Chains A and B, each alone.
Chain A
Amino acid sequence: MNAIQIKMREVAGQLLSLGEVDRVIGWEKGRFAHQSPPAFITDETKVERLIWDEYCLTGTAKYLLDDPYRAGKTGLFARGCDARAINRLIQDGQVKRENIVIIGICCTGMSDSVSRQMAAKCCDCTHPTPVVYDLMIGEPVKPVAKPERFKAVAELEQKAAQEKSEYWTRQFAKCIRCYACRNICPACNCRECFADQYRVGWLGKQHHTAENQVFGLTRAYHIADRCIECGECARVCPVGIPLMELNRKLIKDIQQLFGDYHAGVDSETAPPLGRYSLDDMEEFM
């Protein structure tokens, strides 16, 4: 059994038995070897369910929104991406830091459940070590810049308008409007999504390419400066739409236009589209 898993169970058991938290969120084994879905443990005798292996892909932080007014504290196992997600939720006023005990895990990357190679979202990870934590398991590693994660975006930018349009039309033609991308996303924390307010007319319920595009683009723009690059949207998409390419395009432009910004690395610096500078680039004169 791996050292992280032993430590996880130990820490969870302690926190629960001391009453510091009344539940922990980690991962457990699913039916198949390549499935490690999230686990919710409230009983210290059940900590043996917790596991740590290369398929712990699902983010844990978004689950904090399920019952925002619950009384007890939650012990949350958090990898680098989960820690940024927690900052995201704190900054967006969704959760209170004092209600969470963050058990950081220094993550070395997960495997894709189909290809068994390192998962795409982990290949592009810049902060494998949690940026915020109360307890830490494992040896921290420094953040890596990974400018190569913008490569696909840069290549697509070079293409002709027609080609770009055909590419995205083909992608959104596949969309089945399951909203898994939205529901898994820690930046998608609106109490009611515009996509659910269809009587208002933001978005039609029709399943066709045009409406799918309106949904996808609006969602991408809405999280533009708040995306923490966890890559969960692209991972959960059942039809494989490269949603991170849209997010990365926005992140890349925002960095070029308004300076270096990494969402969720801290919970203080306001997202770039929520502030301004008098010296911003002028293109509209």
Chain B
Amino acid sequence: MALMTEANWEPKVLAFCCNWCSYSGADLVGLNRMKYPENVRIVRVPCSARVNPQFIIRAFQRGADGVLVAGCHPGDCHYSTGNYYTRRRFLVMKRLLEFIGIESQRFQARWISGAEAVKFRDTVTKLCEDIKALGPQRKLRDQK
């Protein structure tokens, strides 16, 4: 993993995907022989409610240019109610990040079911494009 220079910069996008829906959705992208950008690194979590809001701050600090949290649609949570908590948490978190000057495009939360391969592909493709347009995230970075 060589350090990226300004010239060959490619965004790093971290995607927290719920095991039951969004991770399967991402899997289905491949099964359907569709492509999504290599910039996305997926972290599989048991439920979107497992994503501690600090993970987002820490990801930005350690070098992520964008973060996605993806979970089951409301009503579909494997654990019945996990994603309702996720929704509350990240509605607030998203606004906090904007308040400290992180561009709103850099952090997103989406409901993506196991069948929604196209939605996963489109979401991350759009996310990567937006972040490419914004450039590297340096505001919370260790090394500025």
Contacts and interface: CB of A to CB of B under 8 A. Distances in A.
Physical interaction between A and B = yes
Interface of A: 153, 156-157, 161-169, 194, 202, 208, 210-211, 213-214, 217-218, 220-221, 224, 246, 249-250, 253-254, 257-258, 272-273, 276-278, 280-285
Contact of A165 (B54, B85, B90, B102): B102
Given A250-B92, A257-B92, A276-B85, A214 B99 contact: no
A273 B91 CA distance: 10
Given A202-B54, A214-B58, A250 B96 contact: yes
B92 A276 contact: no
Contact of B91 (A168, A208, A257): A257
Report whether over half of chain A's contact residues are helix, strand or loop; otherwise say mixed.
Answer: helix
Contacts of B61: 210-211, 213-214
Interface in B83-103: 84-85, 87-96, 98-103
Given A273-B88, A281-B91, A282-B87, A165 B142 contact: no
A161 B98 contact: yes
B78 interface: no
Contacts, number: 103
A217 B57 contact: yes
Contact of B139 (A169, A221, A283): A169
B contact residues, range: 20 to 34
Contacts of A165: 100-102, 139
B107 to A, nearest CB: 11
A284 B54 contact: no
Contacts of B95: 249, 253
A166 B99 contact: no
A221 B110 CA distance: 21
B109 interface: yes
A217 B55 CA distance: 12
A260 B27 CA distance: 42
B30 interface: no
Interface in B56-114: 57-58, 61, 74, 81, 84-85, 87-96, 98-103, 108-111
A221 B91 contact: no
Nearest to A258: B88
B141 interface: yes
A218 B74 contact: no
B140 interface: yes
Given A214-B57, A221-B54, A224-B92, A284 B110 contact: yes
Nearest to A281: B91
Contacts of A163: 101
Nearest to A256: B95
A165 to B, nearest CB: 3
A273 B89 contact: yes
A208 B58 CA distance: 14
A284 B141 contact: no
B87 A157 contact: no
A280 B84 contact: yes
